[in-house]
Structure formats: structure tokens, C-alpha cells
Structure 1
Amino acid sequence: MAVKSLPPQSKKRVIRSWKSWIKDVNEDDVQTLNKDNQCFAIEIASPNRNKPLNDSSGTFQISSDGNLVILDGRKDIVWSTNLSSSLANFSAVLLDTGNLVLQDNSNGAYVWESFQHASDSFLPTMRLFVDVNRNEKNVLTSWTSPDDPAPGRFAMKLMPDLAGTYILKDGNIPYWYSGPWNGQRFIRLPGMRSLYNDGTTVGSDSPGTAYYMFNVPNSSVLQYYVLTSSGVVEEMEWSYEKKTWDVTSTRNECDIYGKCGSFGSCDARESPICTCFRGFSPKAEDEWEAGNWTSGCTRETPLKCEHNNSLGKEDEFLKMEGVGLPDHYILFPIDKDCRGACLGDCSCIAYAVVTGIGCMHWSHNLTDVVKFASGGEDLYVRLAYSQLHKKRDRRVIIATTVVLGSILIGLCTYFAQKKLSNYRARKYKKGLIFSQRKESELEELPVVRFETLSNATENFDRTKMLGEGGFGPVYKGKLPDGQEIAVKRLARSSNQGAEEFMNEVMVISKLQHHNLVRLIGCCVEHEEKMLVYEYMPNGSLDAFLFGSHKREFLNWQTRKSIVEGICRGLLYLHRDSRLKIIHRDLKASNILLDEELNPKISDFGMARIFGGKADQANTTRVVGTYGYMSPEYAHRGIFSEKSDVYSFGILLLEIVSGKKNSSFCDEDQQFLTAYAWKLWNEGKITNLMDPAMCDSAIEDDIVRYANVGLLCVQEIAADRPNTSTVLSMLSCEIVELPHPKQPAFVGIQSSQSTEPSSNDVTISIVGGR
């Protein structure tokens, strides 16, 4: 049962708690009542998150057997409390806490509580718990997306015996970790207020159990927590002044589990944020320099006990102060000598003594160590003796330096210059030095000051984030003159992007077309690289097209207009602009919609410019998105105008069907293209049509557009029409269309891929063969 405050645009019947209103609120009243929004409400359509009601004809009632039920318009039960009791003397009560309870009128006992079935929201007095003995738990589960309440990728659950709280991604992948409970706070949350200040209670009723709840002692403060669809726990506090919920918690990059890999320490205040422990070095130097630290670090000098060396000196411990301790620890009795016990066990690689918990040992890789500005614990990491006493050898070095004097200075100068030269060469190769390109390529594009963009986005506040792509986050902002903008900020941790950033600047700054997103300016200050675009209020096409209530806005005429607009933009890139440009990453998420749902092609980071009369090229660096790649490009690295035509064909079939090629599944058909080909051969191609637009679509149009889509995705590039021909086919300038040949069913796996295969993720390091 989802218990939340409803957004102003909501048009559902809700029940309000006693202190605010005791009444059923009609649809017309919701807009007015939400101006105050000072209480929690129950969305009647959301108890069964996987099967919500599709209209307003549902009813919420107590059935004859005493169960709370939701009925659809046909009076079929879509959700029930499923109590086995035959008693019928029950009543439903919404408590002031937001807890909806089913109460036995004979004794006042609660026989069912919504707080025992948490969704994504954690309210005061609600109890999250785990009981491994009874196999019972109450966990937070995120929504799939901000507007889809179905269970999403993230779940927050408490570990038994007070071992901490995890946010897990995709079922079992750690995404965030709180550390164990020490009686006052979770030890990896140094800023967590004490038990007596914030009313937090964490406890265990018996071995294998744990529970977590909080209360707000100050009754004037309205507060709750929500696990968002992106895996972030946000603290929500009601602002009486602004009459809205404020997000009062923050998150940084180091909060993501394992950001720096094993034996790496993360400090959000530093740049780069990841460093190896003393005595350790990066496992993959190239990845580390590129900002991908997840491979972690490896020990430089083996421990004495690992080689049974009786002659060497004993291992010692490096003290790391004020850190968040890793998980997978072993507890030792508090009366033991923690250091001595660890030193006497060769498998023990670190220890810590924590007030309220005791002696903690680690025998596995130390993953997810975070450096805090204040607070935290002291971690003692086992190192070889030589790693901790290198400073003592400086006397020898100094003496040698005095004797050899000028020779060593000369050598040092030589090697320093050589190292500096190599460093500059590496930076140039990675695209991080713009000095030779900046003046010539940016001279026609306005340069926006960093301070201006920081002010426009409220210092890049998370609430201003529109989304996050492969190169970094995109923020909404407003310039001093009132113009709304979208700021694409290249993440410092991105292992791709600097080259693509300059590519996008060079390409899009020279393009002007109604169906291409307009680049307003760029910023290359403070080691930041940012692009400033015109703001598109309706976001990307995929947010409308796939699994969203927004699909109802896409009637057939609107979809036709979007398809033809994309095609005109593509024709401009291929034929009409000063430069012939192949986009190489055309997909629904890269099509933005303005306030009138006009399409704009965006994200030119992967685009390639053709010089002279060339119309085809080969690359050893395949970039783009699986599922939209043409076969000749995915397998041989050959790209041309026909590569974009293939991607356009996939996109056209998606727009007609409302289904994503990558996630499509129908019997034995793995891809939308295969399903469309099957329907075409069976003479049932109209079945491809999205049911959401059945009242507005014209059958002949559906057949024509599906035909064009199948022509665009034919396996052999020469068989596909060019962009100009595609536009003529869509606008009926070409009346008779050829029969398509079998499409290319390009799978999401690639023998050359070194990245996780996904149709939703843009990849850029796949070798063409």
C-alpha cells in the first residue's frame, strides 16, 4: 500500500488522515487540497504495484469476509489483504501516521497494517524489519521510474543481527551500505543524529532478526524518506513557507558501493576522488587514469606470512583515520587483543576497534572504504614492514645525492622533462588538452562562464538534474535573461567523453535545422567541460513512447509528425548541411521533444564528418547502441548513411508499435524486427500498431510506415533506401513501395564486445573486425 503525498496534477480519489480531513476527496477537490499538502494520502490505485487500475472506475471497500479489497469497474478483485479470518466486524482506519489499518471492532486489534507492506516510502513509526527464522521481511522497493510505481531495480533492506542496511540493485548487487549499528548510529553515517535527537530506534528481538524505525519528536516537523527510482534515499521535509516538500539530504559519488574498487579509498572532496591505499597500486593503470576505478588496487609488496619468510621483519599496520569501514567483517570477542589476534592470523588483512561493536577483522579484499570530512572510524591495514619504513632509507639517498651531486641533478632533470613530455602526450591522446583546437573550433560558439552556469543550475543541485548519460549528468537551468537551458556536464570520472565533447562542439556548432537540437554555448573552465543546449520541456521520446501514461499524448498524427521530423533532420545531416554527418547513435532517448512535441535530434558526441565525396568509412572503434546498430557496422566497423537509415528503421518500428526493440519478447521472437517481419509475411502487419492509438490510426498509414521501417532494416546496406527516398516514401510521393527483404536480426551480444551487452547503453570501445 503506497502511502505518500500526491502531486498537484493527481486526479485520484484519496482518503485523508484525521488531523487534516475526514472525508473521501472527490477528483475536483484534489487540486485545492494539495495546495496545503500537509498530510499523507493513500493512492487507491497503487497497492498492487504491478497491476494498477487503468481508469477511475475502481472502488475501495471492506468485503463481506472482512478483507480490504480494490475492485475494478467490473467488480473483479484486483487486490486484497487476503486474510483468512472469517470475521466481518472490521473497519478501516487511516491513522495520523499515515498507516492504514484494518481493525477488529470487537477488541481494537489491528489485523492488517499498510506499514507492514512498505513500498518506496519510509514514514515515522513504520518499521523495516528482517526475520531470517520466519523468512519474513519488510523492505523499501523503488519505483521503476518517477511515473511508474511498479517495483524497480532498487531495494533497501536491513541485515539481521544489526549488521547494517543495504540498498541492493537488480536483486543482489550492493549499491550502498550503511555499516553496522553501534547503539547510536550506523557507523558509515557519521552525520547521523543521536538516538535521542531524531527518535531513531534500531534493535533485534532475537538472533537472526533486526528492525529499524524512526520518529520525529517535534510534532511541527513533517518528514519522511523515499527510495527513488535511481537508488537514492531522499529525506523529505515539508516547507511551510514554500508549501512543498524539500529534499534535505544529499549524496555524492563516494556513496556508490565499490566506487574505488578493492583497496581503494574514496574522498568526494578530492580530485580524483579515488586513491589506492599506501603500499598498493592500481590493478589497471590505463583504466585508473581514465577515471574508471572499479578494478581497484593490488598490493605492491607481499606480506611476510604469505611466503613463510622467517628472516624478514614482522608485518605492521597502517592506520587510516576517519573512514567508513568496509563490509564482510568478522566480529571477535571484545576482551581479545584485537591487533595481536589479527597479527597472529595470516588471513587477517585489517582490523578496527569500534565503540559499541567491538573488535572487527577482515580477511577479504577491503572494498568501499570512504574517507569522511569528520567522524568515521580508524582502520588498521596490514602491510609489509618495508612499506611502512621507507622513510628511514632517506639518509642513504641523501648521502648518495651529496656524493653524486651534479650527475644526479642532471639525470633527474632529464627524466623529469621526459616524464612531463609523456604526460602531455597522454593528455593530448585522451583529448584532455584543448589548447591547439580550442581557439579555431570554439571561436564561433559563445563561451559561457562557469559561474553563470553554476548560478543557473543552483550550483548543479540534484533537483535540477534532468537525466544522466554515458558522459555525465544533464541539468536544467535558467540564464539571467530568463532563457531556460539544459547543461550537459562531462563527468570527471567518465572514461569516455573528452574526445566526444570536442567532437560534439565541432559538429553541432556548425548545424542549424528545425529538427536538430540547438547548441547555445560551451564552458571549458575549472577543469570542467560543459555544453549548453536549448531546453526541451517534454524531455526525450522514449519517456513518452515506452511503458508510460504519456503514450496517450502520442496519437497517430503526432507520431507521423515526429517520424517525418526525425527524417528531415537526418536528411539535413546526410545531404543538405555544409558537412556530411553520420550520427551513429540514433535512438529514442536521443530524440528530444519541444513544447509542441516537435522532434529534435540530439547527442552528436558519436557523430562522424565525411570529407570530400566520401560516403563510407571503416573504424576500429565501434560506437553506438546495440539493437540500433546495422550489421555491417556492428560486425565489421563499416558505417555510412545507410547505418543511420538502419537505426531510423528500428526507431520507426518502435514509434508505430510503442514497443522497445531491446526489451521486446513475443513467444520465440527476441526482437521487434523479427516480430514485424513475421506479421508482414502473415499479412497481419496492422497488429503491430500500438493499442494506445487504435482510435486515431489509419490502417493504410500503418501498413506504409511499417513497410518503410522494414525496408530500412534490411540486412544488406545496398538494399536500404537512402534518407531522401525514405522521406518521399513516408510523404506518399512514392506511391508504390517495394517488398522488403528479410531484416537483419542483430543480437545484443557481440564476439568483440568488451562491455556489458545492452540495447539501452551507448558503448564506445568495441573493436570492429
Structure 2
Amino acid sequence: MMMIIVVVVSTVLGMILSATAGYYICQLRKAKLKAAQEENSFYKDSKEESQDNELELPLFDLGTIFAATDKFSSANKIGQGGFGSVYKGELPDGQEIAVKRLSQGSGQGLKEFKNEVNLIAKLQHPNLVRLLGCCIQGEERMLIYEFQHNKSLDNFIFDQTRRKLLPWEKRFNIIVGIARGLLYLHEDSRLRIIHRDLKASNILLDNEMCPKISDFGIARIFGGEQTGEMTKRVMGTYGYLSPEYAMSGHFSVKSDVFSFGVLVLEIISGKKNWGFYHPEHDLNLVGHAWKLWDEQSPLQLMDEVLDESFSTNEVVRCIQVGLLCVQQRTEDRPTMSSVVFMLSNESAELNQPKEPGFSVERFSVKIESLSGGQTSSTSNDITITTLAGR
């Protein structure tokens, strides 16, 4: 009898324990399911919010970009920059695109990437490259641009053969187009934007050789009346940096003006400022241009491949504008609105330029260079030479 009672009690206790355990397991499963549903709902809402509210451009999926670029094949690689590689691609509808694939070591996070995307999305001007959309998937960050068949300006003006395809008229139009694009960034857009890396390789050319400023990876946005800022991290490209930016980290709209002046002198001469060589002196291109101006022989700066079909006054005016832009003191440099006016009006009175900044290629400041497709810090000596003006 006692044995029967023990068996019954044990059975009942087992059933109670099983039921209790089953109940808690069921409740635990329900809790996990609810948490998963809430997480999925949060992720979905966050994703939708990211697409609808944070990004102002279409999102391309990774599969589409893979197919367009043939899985980023080396045959489709058309460029290499400090923040990643650029590939040519073709969408299913036949539209050609340029895909800027940011390297994972670029140091640009998701927030910064979205800020850059939204910045470029707000910029609409014939002399700025048009951004079609972006791709964000996993660790991938990509910008999709309209494709420019003529690639960048440096492929023409620094090439012994292709620079012959740029007669003076086209070079002048390129100079004016860049000036108008920069004016839009500084004064005419809803935001005040300092590009900080204006150079020949960041000027793209369309089928009609119309220039388009590209690569806003290190651009800075300012609101209100702010026109400049200080930074401890000097970034840019050798030969285009203004003295105040390279030496003290102060950048402003006048830093872009300096870079523009260097670019003007490069377009006119077909020579690079950084790496310029002359057997009679150690000046760089800026210093050489100033020397010729001081000797009243500015036309000697012109690219030797150019024929005689140009206006002497127009060329001299462009050289003078370029020298005004590269003056050492920021307050002496013109604004881009003044630059556009001087280039567009032959009757405009131009000031005589003063000595330029960085007329010799010896650097002694640390600069994080983005030129040549790599990001590196290199020390060289910077010497600011004062030359007598006429």
C-alpha cells in the first residue's frame, strides 16, 4: 500500500514539475519571439528612416553594382584616390556610371558617409559632377556618379599628346567653368562649402570638355557668416595647398582660391606646379610664373603646343588672375565672385599681383597628402620666397 502511495505522489509531482517547466519554457519562447519581432520592427523602422529621412538620393543594392562593374574587375578600374578606387560600370538600362568604392581603411564612418552623400545631393550646378546615388551594405560604402568619358583634366594637360587636343579656347572655357563651379560652392549654394582638394585630377571633363568639380571627400560645410576654420589635421595635395593652411592649419574660401590660382597656371602652361623644373632656377611653377610676370614676359608661360589662335590680352588676363589668386596673404586674394567677373569682362580693372606663397618646393610641415592615389604623411621643407614686384 505504501509503495502505491509513493508511486502516485511521485507521478503527481512529476506531472506538476513538467507542467511548470513547460509553462516557463513557453513563456520564455514567447518573450524571445516578442523581442525578435520588436528588434526586426526597430531595424525595419531604422532602415526605412535611414532611407527616407537621412539619405536624399536613391540607394543602389550591392548586386546591381557588382553586375554593373563586373564584380569590380581590374579592367573596369579607372582611378585610384586617397579614399578608395573608382570603377566604370553600366546599369541594366544602359546608363554608364562611375562607382567610387571607399576603402575600409579610409576612416570615414557611416555617419560621415551619409553627411557627404547629402552634401553632394544638395549641389546642383553644371560645373559640379552629378551624384546619382549611393550603396550602403555591410562594410561597403559606394558613391555612384554620372560617368565622364573624358575622365579628368590631368589626363589632358599633363600628357604630351593629349594636351594638343586642348587649344586655348577650350582651356579658357575650362578655367571659367571651374571658377563658376567654385563660386557656386562658396557663395551661391544654400551652403558655404570649402572643397579643400581642388586640383587637376579632381576636375572631370564631359563629352564637350565642360569641367565638373568632383571629389568632396574632405570638403567642409559652413553656415551663416562663417568662412573658415582651424584644424590640426592638414589634408590636401602637394602643390595646391595655401601657405596658411599648410603652415598653421587655417583653411577658408581663400584656401580654395589659392588652389584655383595654381590650377589656372597649370592649365595655361601644361606643367605641374609640384615637380616643375627649370634649368636656370629652383622656383616651382608659381614662382616661375611670378618671375616671368616681374620680367614683363608673361606669355613665355604658355604651353609650347598652343598655336597662335589666341587673344594675347585674354591669356595675360588669365595669368594675372592666377597670380592674384596665389598671393601669399589671404586678404590680398580675390573672392571667386571677383575672379569670375575679372575673367568674364575684358574691361575690368585688375590689381597688380603681389608676391606669391610657396614659390620654392622645399617643405617642412607635415601634410596628409591625398595625391597619387595614396594617403600618407610626408615631411618636406616649405620655403616662402619673396620676389620683388614691378
Tell me the TM-score range normalised by the shorter chain. 0.7 to 0.9
Counterparts of 1:425-504 in structure 2, within 5 Å, are 438-439=50-51, 442-492=54-104, 494-498=105-109, 501-504=113-116
| CA displacement, residues 702-723 of structure 1 (integer Å, 9 cap, x when unaligned) | 1110000000000000000000
Give 1:739's match in structure 2, choosing from 343, 352, 358: 352
Q: Is 1:709 paired with 2:327?
A: no
In structure 2, the partner of 1:678 is 291
8 A Cα contact 2:246 2:367, kept in partner = no
Contact 1:712/1:721 (<8 A) preserved: yes
The answer to whether the Cα contact below 8 Å between 1:630 and 1:646 also exists between their aligned partners in 2 is: yes
Structure 1 unaligned residues grouped into runs of 5+: 1-433
1:520 aligns with 132
Aligned pairs (5 A) from 1:334-413: none
Q: Deviations over 1:293-336 (max 9, x none)?
A: xxxxxxxxxxxxxxxxxxxxxxxxxxxxxxxxxxxxxxxxxxxx
What amino acid is the match of 2:296? G
Identical amino acids, percent of aligned pairs = 53
Contact between 2:236 and 2:367, CA under 8 Å: does it hold in 1? no
- How far, CA to CA, are the matches of 1:754 and 1:718 in structure 2? 23
Structure 2 residues not aligned, in runs of 5+: 1-45, 380-390
Tell whether the 8 Å contact from 1:500 to 1:605 is kept in structure 2 after alignment. no
Structure 1 residue 731, shift from structure 2 partner: 0.9
Alignment partners' CA distance in 2, 1:701 and 1:444: 42
Alpha-carbon separation, structure 2, partners of 1:700 and 1:762: 40
From 128, 145, 165, the counterpart of 1:533 = 145
The residue aligned with 1:644 is 256
Inter-partner Cα distance in structure 1 for 2:138 and 2:301: 51
Cα distance in 2 between the residues matched to 1:748 and 1:540: 25
Per-residue deviation, 1:747: 5.6
Q: Please tell me the residue identity of whatever aligns with 1:724.
A: S
Q: What amino acid does structure 1 have at the position aligned with 2:322?
A: G
What is the CA deviation profile of residues 174-194 of structure 1, one whole-angstrom value per residue up to 9, with x for unaligned ones? xxxxxxxxxxxxxxxxxxxxx
CA contact under 8 A between 1:538 and 1:592: conserved in structure 2? yes
Give CA deviations for 1:609-628 in whole Å, capped at 9, x if unaligned.
00121112111221111210
User: Compared with structure 1, are the counterparts of its residues 720 and 447 closer, same or farther at alpha carbon in structure 2 (3 Å cutoff)?
Assistant: same
Shift of 1:766: 8.9
Bigger helix fraction: 2
- Indicate the residue corresponding to 1:563 in structure 2: 175
User: What corresponds to 1:543 in structure 2?
Assistant: 155
Provide the residue aligned with 1:225 in structure 2. Answer: none
Tell me the equivalent position of 1:367. none
* Aligned residue type for 1:553: L
Which residue identity does 1:668 align to in structure 2?
A: H
What's the counterpart of residue 245 of structure 2? 633
Helix, strand or coil for the counterpart of 2:140? Answer: coil
CA distance in 2, matches of 1:448, 1:660: 38
Aligned to 1:596: 208
Give the alignment's Cα RMSD to 1 decimal.
Answer: 2.4
1:574 aligns with 2:174: no
CA–CA separation in structure 1 for the residues paired with 2:355 and 2:102 = 40
TM-superposition CA deviations, 1:514-539 (whole Å, max 9, x none): 00000000001132110000000000
For 1:548, the aligned partner's letter is: Q
**C-alpha deviations, 1:556-587, integer Å up to 9, x for none?**
11001100000010010011101110000000
In the alignment, the residues of structure 2 paired with residue 496 and residue 647 of structure 1 have an alpha-carbon distance, to the nearest angstrom, of 25
2:37 corresponds to which residue?
Answer: none
> Normalized against structure 1, the TM-score is what?
0.41
Q: For residue 38 of structure 2, what is the aligned residue in structure 1? A: none
Alpha carbons 1:503, 1:604 under 8 Å: kept: no
The structure-2 alpha-carbon separation of the partners of 1:746 and 1:525, relative to structure 1 and needing over 3 Å to count, comes to farther
Q: Does residue 618 of structure 1 match 2:230?
A: yes
Map Cα deviations across residues 433-492 of structure 1 (whole Å, 9 max, x no partner). Answer: x98994576432100010001011111111011111111111111111111000000122
Task: Give the AA of the match of 1:580.
Answer: R
Give the TM-score taking structure 2 as reference length: 0.80
Paired residues of 1:622 and 1:765 also in contact (CA < 8 A): no
AA aligned to 2:298 is I
Q: Number of residue pairs matched?
A: 332
Deviation at 1:699, TM superposition (A): 1.5
Alpha-carbon distance, 1:684 to partner: 0.8
Distance 1:676 1:491 in 2: 38
- The within-5 A match list for 1:166-245 is none
